[in-house]
Structure 1
Amino acid sequence: MATIATLHRMSAAQLADRIRAGARSLAIVDVRDDDHIGGHIKGSLHFASGTLDVMMPTLIRRLEDVETVVFHCALSQQRGPGAALRYLREKKPEGTKPQTVYILDRGFVGWQEVYGEDTQLTENFRKEIWQNY
């Protein structure tokens, strides 16, 4: 059984490369709550951690045919890894495509430091929100 320590990690650079290459079968799941304001990774799905009790079945159905799933929160230390673990534990492996689940290393904070102002990779970025995070 997966634990936070055994979850795969993906760097911001690796994710950016996959997005730029037009990676198919990739889903980015942003589980930030109120801290979602100020920008997000282009094309990411927002499932706030506070709604996961209700929304997990929807998330599982939506991602059933996706090969690579990347979860993140602000720092990818609590909410992101917790959501990834919960997703792995609740999805039914029978009859589904093989899937690799990652945690975005350093979360959105690390992402925005490098790619926040890159409009090909980040949407609705507001630098002033992240300057002192």
Structure 2
Amino acid sequence: MSSMNIATLPRMSRDALSALLLSTSSPSSKLAIVDVRDSDHIGGHICSSTWIPSSSLDVRLPELIRTLQDKETVVFHCALSQQRGPSAALRYARERERVLGADESRKQEVFVLEGGFVQWQEKYGKDERLTEAYVEDIWQEY
């Protein structure tokens, strides 16, 4: 079994993720972003992200492992990336290793977005190249 735990999951900064999204003509061929927010998903999301509410993650893990198997980088996030995002990333990484084996699992890097969507939207919410369906009023209280 993997020695990976919540504390050892690598984090990715919002600036590094934005650079990845903007650097290639087709970032989705190598990069996947998984948004595990639940009802707090309203008000915007990172372009090209896949929304899988944390409440349905366990049921959707086999599908997720299958559909993301060719991605080099997978970034998970929730609102703050303190609980749901890291927990989802860890469950995904462990299940991927269990299903595909350790050697195959190492071909993909799994990250947690530092600061989650709250920090993302503070800097990139209004940037339509990076954020879709952004509603600024919803995020003013954060």
Q: Normalised by the size of structure 2, how large is the TM-score?
A: 0.90
Task: Return the alpha-carbon distance in structure 2 between the equivalents of residues 50 and 131 of structure 1.
Answer: 26
Q: Unaligned 5+ residue runs, structure 2?
A: none
Task: Return the alpha-carbon distance in structure 2 between the equivalents of residues 130 and 110 of structure 1.
Answer: 10
Point out the structure with the larger helix share: 2
Larger mean CA deviation between 38-47 and 21-30 belongs to 21-30
Alignment RMSD: 1.2
Tell me the equivalent position of 2:130. 121
Tell me the equivalent position of 1:112. 121
Task: Return the alpha-carbon distance in structure 2 between the equivalents of residues 32 and 89 of structure 1.
Answer: 20
Identity score, percent: 56
Task: Return the alpha-carbon distance in structure 1 between the equivalents of residues 20 and 57 of structure 2.
Answer: 26
1:1-133 matches, cutoff 5 A: 1-22=3-24, 23=27, 24-91=29-96, 92-94=99-101, 96=104, 98-133=107-142
| Amino acid in the other structure paired with 1:74 | A
Deviation for aligned residue 1:21? 0.6
Deviation for aligned residue 1:119? 0.3
Task: Return the alpha-carbon distance in structure 2 between the equivalents of residues 70 and 53 of structure 1.
Answer: 17
Query: Structure 1 segments of 4 or more deviating over 4 A?
Result: none
Deviation for aligned residue 1:104? 0.3
Task: Return the alpha-carbon distance in structure 2 between the equivalents of residues 3 and 96 of structure 1.
Answer: 19
Larger mean CA deviation between 90-99 and 40-49 belongs to 90-99
Deviation for aligned residue 1:96? 3.4
Task: Return the alpha-carbon distance in structure 2 between the equivalents of residues 8 and 54 of structure 1.
Answer: 24
Q: Normalised by the size of structure 1, how large is the TM-score?
A: 0.96
Deviation for aligned residue 1:93? 3.3
SS in 2 for 1:96: helix
Deviation for aligned residue 1:89? 1.0
Task: Return the alpha-carbon distance in structure 1 between the equivalents of residues 50 and 57 of structure 2.
Answer: 13
Work out whether residues 64 and 96 of structure 1, in 8 Å CA contact, stay in contact via their aligned partners in 2.
Answer: no
